[in-house]
Structure 1
Amino acid sequence: MVYASALPFHETGLATQEPRAELSEIFRFFRRRWAYILGTALIVALIAALVVLQATPRYSATATVAVQTQKGQLVDVQDVVSNLAPDTATMETQVSILRATRLAEQVVDRLKLDRDPEFNSALRKSGGFVLWNPKSWFGQEKPKVPEGKLSPLKAAERRTAIVSAVAKAFAIEAVPRSYVLSITATSSDPQKATAMANALADLYIQDGIDAKYEATRRASAYLQDRVDELRAQAVQSDRAAELYRSQSGLVGAVDGSTIDTQQLSELNSQLIVARSERAAKEAQLAQLRALSSGGGENGVETSGAILESPLIQRLREQESEVLRKLAELQATYGERHPRIINANAELRDLRSKIQDEVRKVAASAANDVAIARARESTLASSLGSIEGRVSRGGQASVRLRELQREADSNKSVYELFLNRLKETRQQVDVQTADSRIVSSAIVPLNATYPRVTSTIGAAAMAGLVIGILLSLALEKLDNTVRGAEALEGLGGGATLAFVPVVTGGYERPEEVVTARPQAMAAESLRTLRSALALSDVDNPPKLVMLSSSVPAEGKTFVSVGLARVSAQSGARTLLIDADMRHPRVHQALGVENHVGLVQVLSGEVSLEAALQQDDKSGMLVLPAGHGAINPPDLLRSDHMASLLERLRAEFDLVVIDTPPFVPMTDSQIIAKMVDKMVLVVRWGHTPVPVVQNVIKQIYRVGAPLVGSVLSRVDISRQANYGYGDYGYHYSRYGAYYGTKA
């Protein structure tokens, strides 16, 4: 996996390996940081448990209120405040009303919560240590000032704090897809929580009734004032119309018409009738005159006026009777008979009377015509006079109609407001709420806070998340060398060995090679020796130097261990401590450091006099010695070059322990004289930029770097950083070696 970029592969193979690489990296991440993650979760859970166990139990009681969608009408009048039409905005408005400070104040007053220590902090007794109250960490709190001794401003502030605390104890919600409001009160006392929820529900309903009552009362007062104004306006406008009518002589009649207009209409009708009658009489008179001028009485008698006369008709009847009687007498008697003579005389007398009546009818017709003409003339004269008066009163009538319309309009508005005032007065005493209680709150049996199990569980989950985030941050901040891939990627060459941390009761860690040859540390050093031998099979290196980036990276341990395993294998081995500034080889082996490399190079002693033998492995040791004034000059001298050439001929392997490569030049000087160089890097300790800088310097001076060694490796942890590293295999086969050290 770690070398996938350097190996040929098929596209499908890459697609199948990348998810495995990601999963394995995630798995290794949790293996590396499980202690941080679980530890953080445990700490957070413990803190949550402490807080929860010290918290005061709190109880919640819930009452539900329904907003009425329909309202029964006790009286058939229109409401001043219309019924609620529940929708989203209306329900949110009702929730805001329930959350209003005004209702919270009423709850405080009804239940006397200002005397309750739960809401009035001035009444609380100072307790002991409370984890989440910093004031209790440093002794007792300051004593509270009694209510009666507070200034008005402080009293108002305390009252506001109490009301605010009570308001925060309520949770108001609108139940989705319904017209129901949920009122939940929370308190340390279950009965108090129940009383608070029920009290707020009752106050909310009463507040709705009071609001409608107050609105109706104000509307009634407004309507009363308005009705009084309109009544005065109506009376004033009526008076103005009547006054103008009387002043203008426009005395009213039915439908607002005047007497003159009525008289004009009546005279006009009478004139039309008079003209018709006069025309009829003139026609009748003309007929009579025409018949009379035609000659003969019979012609006149045929006129309608003559024929319609009752007297003439009776005389005609008598004439007919006499003629019949005369005819009968003539049939019996002669002309000179007295009875015939009497009958003729009676006939003449009747005809004389008829003629007189005809003349009277004709004379009467002429008189009627004259009378009809006179009456028509009189009516026409009167009509003309009245028309003049009506014409003169036209402008006055226009103004009068305007005043009359204004009076009628004022009366209509007055009657409208008067009726609305009567309805509103009836509604004042008949107010119903827009809401009703669906269910009252009941005393809760179980505390809603704290929820011990769920809170601790949630805290543990939060701790896991925090632990993971902390671990990710540590991963990002960790820029030390943790594996072979990272070290090789920096240019440190092949990772020749992983040298684990030595544990156990050793006086010196370097004794592990001789005390337990099968230990993992000893095996890793033998692996290093084999890697050096295989680095150049035809010409195995004899002069090998070990250096590091910074001090305390385990360079001396690796140098001593490499020399010992070489000596144990039977090779002639020499260990040189070339760190003249801070020598440590003599401490690791327990030998003297009075005479050493410094003395040999300065010519004070011979090589043979300076060499010491390691009793446990049989190798020879050349300590650093002491008294070096300028180590670079000694190392750069011809004596050093000739010494190394001599040692190359006499020994199979010469291990040189040198100082850190940077910033001292000691190692850089020696690097030009040896066959191979090994860079020792401490696992999980040396920063990557430092190692990178040292490697650049190594290549700059042309040092024969053969590879690197990771020292002081925590094998069990190293297995979590890379599947392909040697440390992974060392950890799996630790039992095979008999010990992890």
Structure 2
Amino acid sequence: MNQFPTSQNVLPTSGQTGAPQHDDIFDIFNLFGVLWRSKWLILFFVVLFGAAGWFYANKVATSLYTSTTRLAFQVRSQQVVDVESVLSGVSTEQPAINTELGVIRSRRVIGLLVDELELTEDVEFNGLGKAPLFSKFGIRNMITEWFTGEEVTPTRPDEETLRLRTTLNVQRKIQVRPIRNTYLFEILVTTQNRRKSALLADTLANLYINDQVTVKFEATRHAVNWLTEQIADLEQQIDAIEDQIETLRTTTDLVSPEAAEVLNLRAKGIQNRLTSERAALDAKKEHLEALVALSQKGDPAAITEGLDDPITARLSQRDLSDPSTAQAIVNRLQTLTEKARNDVQRIESQVEALEESSNRLSQQVANQTESLNALNRLQRDREATNVLHETFLVRLKETSIQIGLQQPDSRVLSEAAPGTPVAPRRLRIQVGMAFLGFAIGAAIALLREIRHTGFRNAKSLERKTGISVIGQVPKIPISRRDGLLQYFTERPTSAAAEAIRNLRTSLLLSNIDNPPKVIMSTSSVPGEGKTTQAICLAQNLRGLGKSVLLVEGDIRRRTLAKYFNTAPKGSLLRVLNSEITLQDAVEKDPETGINVLMSERSNANAADIFSSQRFQQFLENARQTFDFVIIDTPPVLIVPDARIIGRQVDTTIYSVKWDATGEEQVREGLNQLLSVDCNISGLVLSQIDAAGMKSYGYGNQYGAYSSYGKSYYDA
């Protein structure tokens, strides 16, 4: 739709309206009002969901019961110094306690519970029972059975898979929780049977305690077996070492360490003698070489000078030229040379003998030393093995006496009583579902309220359109249209009659100097009470002693005849076609004195009829003949008749049905009238429900519909 030129002849859009007024502020009281008006809808959802919750809690949901067994840890200190640590309790450290809690829910211990109670045959745990109706498998089975017509029965797997499945299902039913600031803990088991829950809780506690003893017994027995094996190995090692010692003693000439030391001293003495003899031999060899050198010279003088011999020294005092003396010196040299040669040979023989003795003794010392060292090593190995053997033997005896003396690390303080109900929480489910129903009902009511675009009070209508509301007409309690005039005649002081009087007053006072004479009554869509208001306004104006002409401008529907019991003499079309005069065509109602000009079916287009010069002349003639002319026209948004007629009348009253006609419909209809410069005196909020006004919180704000107006108006 095109934009119109000024705000004087076009309505503001919804985004251009002013600040929200008090009656549109969505405060807490409005919220309660919306909920109260939809109380039956909300109650329906509350009852529906509450009944569904009751049905689920009592007929569908499986009852579950929880039993609790309380146990206590037998704690000990962290430091372990003796055999008593094997018999004492668990560590007080939190990780150790948490580990024990995890052991209880371990698959191994739960598996012992499954085997002990033969839970693989229990349909609650083995997965061979019928799936719950509203579970994933239950819905799938129901669909399968519906399509196939055969009951779905689970297939039994192999025993290992069945035991594993049962163990996992039982594990999900068990909880273990510690009690803060104590060494107490609880085993909680939840099943579908009171006594089964207690049986599982107590059995699991006993199995855990027995498992502690079994684990300790197995550990002790393993330690005994290991120590026994180690002792046997050590004994074999000791026997082997002793055999080696005996073999060493029999195969070698072992002497005592003291004898070996004496033999070593002898070897050292011979070595010393050998050294001195070798030095003497060297000296003798040098002396022999010197004598040989003197013999080669043959000079007695040189011989006597080179020899350190007393006999030669005496001979040198003789005459060396004497041949006998020279010969004697040479003979003495030869004697000394021979003696020196003999001494060398003798010493060499001694050195050879000493070397042989030294080598023999050195070999003996080396052999004895090696044998003694080997013996010492074997003896040390035997001693060390003996010590280790004795240590293991002591540990074996200490550990052996512990077999059968093991004590568990925990004990049962309180056995489980028959399970208490934990699910379903019937009251909680029913209350929760009822609250959900309330929330859904309230959400629907609020959504309906948010999406509602009708008008419930005059202020809202005025603010949204920018046009004054000159009348508020209640819903008239009649069952037939022909009873409308009778109602106003018999109840002249009713709220509806007073509303029409207020409308009349507002209309006439809209222009005191030049009151409107030709009035058009229209609306946005059919069913908004425009015809009723036109008739009532005509009756009210006639009550002032004025001559009133009521013209049926809706030549398509022609509903005006249903309100009057008289047959029409003529019609609007016949007057326009000059087939009959206006005075002859008008039918005067004998009860109210209203002059009525009805319409008849025509093949001509209604818009063309009302746009004709003949219709303008008709209006001018009616204006001159009657004090007031009221034209009932079709709805603005249906056909263009009202826009055509609206340009030729003095004013227009625009009817808006209470709590029904949408804002966009009203805005569009008014904009169409304003676009052709129609003069609109005001709006009429029609067919108001007084009880509805009160329920929406407006009962005390609008005179005739408030609790204060009851004493002024008839029903």
Q: Tell me if 1:486 matches 2:491.
A: no
Inter-partner Cα distance in structure 2 for 1:154 and 1:86: 42
Q: Tell me if 1:103 matches 2:110.
A: yes
Corresponding residue for 1:516?
A: 491
Matches within 5 A, 1:29-40: 29-40=34-45
1:632 to 587, 592, 607: 607
Q: Tell me if 1:83 matches 2:90.
A: yes
Corresponding residue for 2:342?
A: none
Inter-partner Cα distance in structure 1 for 2:358 and 2:491: 162
**Does 195-204 or 591-600 show the bigger shift?**
591-600
Amino acid aligned to 2:46:
A
1:37 CA displacement: 3.1
Inter-partner Cα distance in structure 1 for 2:437 and 2:459: 32
Corresponding residue for 1:587?
A: 562
For the 8 Å contact 2:634–2:641, the answer to whether it is kept is yes
Corresponding residue for 2:532?
A: 557
For the 8 Å contact 1:602–1:634, the answer to whether it is kept is no
Secondary structure (helix, strand or coil) at the match of 1:709 reads strand
When normalised by structure 1's length, the TM-score is 0.64
For the 8 Å contact 1:526–1:565, the answer to whether it is kept is yes
**Does 604-613 or 76-85 show the bigger shift?**
76-85
Corresponding residue for 1:619?
A: 594
Question: Over residues 528-553 of structure 1, what are the superposed CA-to-partner deviations in whole Å (9 max), with x where a residue is unaligned?
Answer: 22221222222222222222222222
Gaps of 5+ in 2: 1-16, 134-138, 270-353
For the 8 Å contact 1:573–1:619, the answer to whether it is kept is yes
Question: Over residues 191-244 of structure 1, what are the superposed CA-to-partner deviations in whole Å (9 max), with x where a residue is unaligned?
Answer: x40342233232244135326625763785588469747965995699589869
For the 8 Å contact 1:574–1:651, the answer to whether it is kept is yes
Q: Tell me if 1:469 matches 2:474.
A: no
2:366 to 381, 389, 404: 389
Question: Over residues 447-484 of structure 1, what are the superposed CA-to-partner deviations in whole Å (9 max), with x where a residue is unaligned?
Answer: 66666666544544443333322322222222333333
Inter-partner Cα distance in structure 2 for 1:60 and 1:227: 52
Amino acid aligned to 1:60:
Y
Question: Over residues 296-333 of structure 1, what are the superposed CA-to-partner deviations in whole Å (9 max), with x where a residue is unaligned?
Answer: xxxxxxxxxxxxxxxxxxxxxxxxxxxxxxxxxxxxxx
Secondary structure (helix, strand or coil) at the match of 1:493 reads coil
Inter-partner Cα distance in structure 1 for 2:141 and 2:550: 63
Structure 2 CA distance for partners of 1:78 and 1:171, relative to 1, 3 Å: closer
Gaps of 5+ in 1: 8-13, 127-131, 273-376
1:547 to 509, 522, 529: 522
Question: Over residues 276-305 of structure 1, what are the superposed CA-to-partner deviations in whole Å (9 max), with x where a residue is unaligned?
Answer: xxxxxxxxxxxxxxxxxxxxxxxxxxxxxx
1:639 CA displacement: 1.4
Inter-partner Cα distance in structure 1 for 2:580 and 2:379: 148
Structure 2 CA distance for partners of 1:505 and 1:123, relative to 1, 3 Å: closer
Matches within 5 A, 1:28-177: 28-51=33-56, 54=59, 58=63, 60=65, 62-68=67-73, 70=75, 76-79=83-86, 83=90, 85=92, 87=94, 94=101, 97-98=104-105, 103=110, 106=113, 110=117, 114=121, 152-153=156-157, 175=179
Inter-partner Cα distance in structure 1 for 2:535 and 2:392: 116
Corresponding residue for 2:687?
A: 712
Matches within 5 A, 1:96-495: 97-98=104-105, 103=110, 106=113, 110=117, 114=121, 152-153=156-157, 175=179, 179-181=184-186, 183-185=188-190, 187=192, 192-210=193-211, 213-214=214-215, 217=218, 220-221=221-222, 224=225, 228=229, 232=233, 263-264=260-261, 385=362, 389=366, 429-443=404-418, 456-491=430-465, 493-495=467-469
Q: Tell me if 1:496 matches 2:497.
A: no
2:619 to 623, 632, 644: 644
Inter-partner Cα distance in structure 1 for 2:491 and 2:643: 35
When normalised by structure 2's length, the TM-score is 0.66
1:527 CA displacement: 2.1
Amino acid aligned to 1:33:
S
Structure 2 CA distance for partners of 1:612 and 1:198, relative to 1, 3 Å: same
Secondary structure (helix, strand or coil) at the match of 1:499 reads strand
Secondary structure (helix, strand or coil) at the match of 1:719 reads helix
Figure out how many residues of one structure are paired with residues of the other and give that number.
601
Inter-partner Cα distance in structure 2 for 1:656 and 1:410: 133
For the 8 Å contact 1:545–1:655, the answer to whether it is kept is yes
Amino acid aligned to 2:41:
Y
1:711 CA displacement: 2.2
1:432 CA displacement: 4.0
Question: Over residues 650-694 of structure 1, what are the superposed CA-to-partner deviations in whole Å (9 max), with x where a residue is unaligned?
Answer: 333322221121252111111211222222222222233333332
Inter-partner Cα distance in structure 1 for 2:627 and 2:47: 57
Inter-partner Cα distance in structure 1 for 2:518 and 2:151: 85
1:730 CA displacement: 0.7
Structure 2 CA distance for partners of 1:385 and 1:142, relative to 1, 3 Å: same
1:528 to 500, 503, 511: 503
1:410 CA displacement: 8.7
**Does 622-631 or 504-513 show the bigger shift?**
504-513
Corresponding residue for 1:325?
A: none
Inter-partner Cα distance in structure 2 for 1:135 and 1:248: 94
For the 8 Å contact 1:77–1:427, the answer to whether it is kept is no
Structure 2 CA distance for partners of 1:110 and 1:399, relative to 1, 3 Å: same
For the 8 Å contact 2:74–2:89, the answer to whether it is kept is no
Amino acid aligned to 1:34:
K
Secondary structure (helix, strand or coil) at the match of 1:490 reads helix
Alignment RMSD, CA only? 5.6
For the 8 Å contact 2:42–2:438, the answer to whether it is kept is yes
1:68 CA displacement: 0.9
Inter-partner Cα distance in structure 2 for 1:262 and 1:483: 138
Amino acid aligned to 1:655:
I
Amino acid aligned to 1:602:
N
% identical aligned pairs:
23
Inter-partner Cα distance in structure 1 for 2:622 and 2:262: 161
Corresponding residue for 2:278?
A: none
1:604 to 553, 570, 579: 579
For the 8 Å contact 2:209–2:411, the answer to whether it is kept is no
Structure 2 CA distance for partners of 1:242 and 1:154, relative to 1, 3 Å: closer
Amino acid aligned to 1:389:
A
Question: Over residues 395-414 of structure 1, what are the superposed CA-to-partner deviations in whole Å (9 max), with x where a residue is unaligned?
Answer: x979997x999999999988
Inter-partner Cα distance in structure 2 for 1:464 and 1:482: 26
1:621 CA displacement: 1.6
For the 8 Å contact 2:67–2:418, the answer to whether it is kept is no
Amino acid aligned to 2:588:
Q
Inter-partner Cα distance in structure 2 for 1:261 and 1:567: 164
Amino acid aligned to 1:542:
K
**Does 62-71 or 636-645 show the bigger shift?**
62-71
Structure 2 CA distance for partners of 1:415 and 1:509, relative to 1, 3 Å: farther
For the 8 Å contact 2:126–2:162, the answer to whether it is kept is no
